[in-house]
């Protein structure tokens, strides 16, 4: 990072000790406003634990949550075959305009 000014201002000294402007920032209050089908993915071993992700599952109206058991933060790289299968299955399950008429 050539210039850490923005990171330090928003985050603080590290992502493990947030005391910058993002400290109390959240999107949870607007999750119910998401008006499109949503695929939520997370890795079992991510620092964003299932407890952290649960509000997204609870508050987004049309959501499917897939936890990748062998992944941490990037299941698309850590479990690429399963990720691809989940994504294709999800996309195939969406209504397209021609199907819903």
> When comparing pLDDT for 16 and 33, which is higher?
33
Model pLDDT, residue 101: 40
The structural domains of the chain, with segments of one domain joined by +, span 1-28, 34-93
Which 8-state DSSP code applies to residue 33?
Answer: G
What average pLDDT does the structure give for the chain?
A: 92
Contact 38, 62 (CB under 8 A): yes
User: What 8-state DSSP symbol labels residue 63?
Assistant: E
Distance in angstroms (rounded) separating the CA atoms of residues 45 and 67: 10
Arithmetic mean of pLDDT, 88-97: 87
Q: Where does the pLDDT of residue 14 fall: very low under 50, low under 70, confident under 90, or very high at 90 and above?
A: confident
What is the pTM for the complete model shown?
0.78
For residue range 35-81, list pLDDT tens digits in order: 999 999 999 999 899 999 999 999 999 999 999 999 999 999 999 99
In contact, 28 and 19? CB cutoff 8 Å: no
């Amino acid at each position: 990072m050539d210039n850490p000014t923005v990171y330090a201002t928003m985050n603080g000294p590290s992502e493990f000790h947030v005391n910058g402007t993002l400290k109390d920032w959240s999107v949870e209050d607007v999750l119910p406003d998401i008006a499109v089908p949503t695929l939520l993915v997370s890795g079992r071993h991510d620092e964003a634990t299932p407890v952290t992700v649960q509000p997204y599952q609870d508050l987004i109206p049309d959501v499917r949550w897939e936890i990748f058991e062998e992944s941490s933060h990037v299941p698309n790289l850590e479990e690429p075959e399963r990720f691809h299968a989940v994504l294709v299955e999800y996309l195939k399950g969406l209504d397209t305009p021609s199907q819903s008429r």
